[in-house]
């Protein structure tokens, strides 16, 4: 199988995340996309919401995608909590990919990422091993020219054969930050995320503070 590993905070998950996963799966012929919500234990990224809420919203969102199946008729999307349950210091992307390689030893693995993450990627934990051992599907993001960012970084350009660039038709302007701001300021983020997720947010009082 060809499997995409899609890591993000999903704080909250949006239609942009779902569109991205479906489009990458179609265009790169992936048999499965595994959503990996990152842990609140990470030191480099502050979560706005408790892990339990982000995971529940992800579950609710993927429940609306049950019609998305692969060529074998199996669900296209699933969730892994490997980062949420990891100990502090074991939440690097490299650790996640090693976990996936052990779980799927005979399958092709691709880490799905936006081109904005290329900036500083060579400073990630175990970056040299990560870049030399795994492959990446890079989605273009406005203001972050993928080819230029790879060329400007020695570690990235010396592993450029591991980057699979998607340069057209993937950009969507829906961000989790925008949705959080709309909710915080009394706006209406309907149609930006699944109704079930928005209902959960209101019921739990998330993003109001």
Model confidence at 203: pLDDT above 80: yes
State the pLDDT at residue 46. Answer: 72
Q: Which sequence spans correspond to the domains of the chain? A: 2-173
State the pLDDT at residue 132. Answer: 97
Taken as a whole, the chain contains a residue count of 209
Q: Give the mean pLDDT of the chain.
A: 92
* Percent share of the chain, pLDDT over 90: 79
Closest residue by Cα to residue 126 from 105, 100, 146, 98: 98
Q: Are 16 and 114 in contact (CB under 8 A)?
A: no
Model confidence at 162: pLDDT above 90: yes
* CA–CA distances in Å: residue 38 to residues 65, 67, 74, 90, 97: 21, 26, 25, 11, 13
The CATH architecture to which 2-173 belongs is 3-Layer(aba) Sandwich (3.40)
State the pLDDT at residue 133. Answer: 98
State the pLDDT at residue 169. Answer: 64
Q: Are 179 and 189 in contact (CB under 8 A)?
A: yes
State the pLDDT at residue 36. Answer: 97
Q: Are 36 and 82 in contact (CB under 8 A)?
A: yes
Model confidence at 39, in pLDDT bands (50, 70, 90)? confident
């Amino acid at each position: 199988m060809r499997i995409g590993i899609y890591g993000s905070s999903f704080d909250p998950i949006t239609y942009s995340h779902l569109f991205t996963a479906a489009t990458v799966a179609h265009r790169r012929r992936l048999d499965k996309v595994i959503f990996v919500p990152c842990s609140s234990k990470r030191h480099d990224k502050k979560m706005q919401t408790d892990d339990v809420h982000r995971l529940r919203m992800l579950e609710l969102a993927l429940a609306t995608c049950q019609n998305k199946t692969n060529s074998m008729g199996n669900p296209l999307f699933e969730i892994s909590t490997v980062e949420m349950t990891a100990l502090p210091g074991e939440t690097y992307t490299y650790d996640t990919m090693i976990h996936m390689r052990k779980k799927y030893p005979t399958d092709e693995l691709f880490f799905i990422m936006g081109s904005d993450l290329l900036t500083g990627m060579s400073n990630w934990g175990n970056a040299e091993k990560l870049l030399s051992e795994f492959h990446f599907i890079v989605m273009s993001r406005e203001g972050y020219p993928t080819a230029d960012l790879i060329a400007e970084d020695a570690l990235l350009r010396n592993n450029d054969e591991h980057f699979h660039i998607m340069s057209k038709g993937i950009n969507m302007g829906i961000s989790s930050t925008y949705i959080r701001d709309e909710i915080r300021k009394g706006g209406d983020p309907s149609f930006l995320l699944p109704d079930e997720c928005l209902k959960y947010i209101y019921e739990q009082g998330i993003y109001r503070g």
